Amino acid sequence: EAGVAQSPRYKIIEKRQSVAFWCNPISGHATLYWYQQILGQGPKLLIQFQNNGVVDDSQLPKDRFSAERLKGVDSTLKIQPAKLEDSAVYLCASSPGFSLYEQYFGPGTRLTVT
């Protein structure tokens, strides 16, 4: 079974530039999550989708971050404009349902903002 796919794996941009990350969840998984993991910290949930609807985006900095999940499958996360403090690993995860189910993580995108 194919796992969660993410691209790109690495990205270096200058502050104030824009960047987009892509995620393809495990086939059939209704729930998709985007997490931000800063070095030395645990993953922090940015946004959670159930099919193509947003379940929780309370920790998403909406002035600069946006995310969408068209057709309830793939998802993109965008940052515009980027700040130095956005340097982190952005992890996508999927699960068959809500929190009682195991979450399967992709390899992440390591973003460096200079």
**Residue 91 in contact with other proteins, rule: CB under 8 A:** yes
The residue (of 25 and 108) whose beta carbon lies closer to other proteins is 108
Binding mask 2-21 vs other proteins (x if CB under 8 A, - otherwise)?
--------------------
Residue of the chain from 17, 26, 105, 112 that contacts other proteins (CB under 8 A): 105
Q: Which contiguous run of DSSP H or E holds residue 48?
A: strand 44-50
Residue pair 92/7 in contact (Cβ under 8 Å)? The answer is: no
What token pair was written down for 22? 């892509």
Determine, following the binding rule CB under 8 A, whether residue 109 of this chain makes contact with other proteins.
no
| Positions 26 through 45 that interact with other proteins (CB under 8 A) | 35, 40-45
User: Which backbone phi and psi does 70 adopt, to 5 degrees?
Assistant: -75, 140
> What's at 7, amino acid-wise?
S
Q: Lay out the site mask for other proteins across 52-71 (x = CB under 8 A, - = otherwise).
A: ---xx---------------
* In the block, residue with structure tokens 């987009």: 20
Confirm if 79 and 64 have CB atoms less than 8 A apart: yes
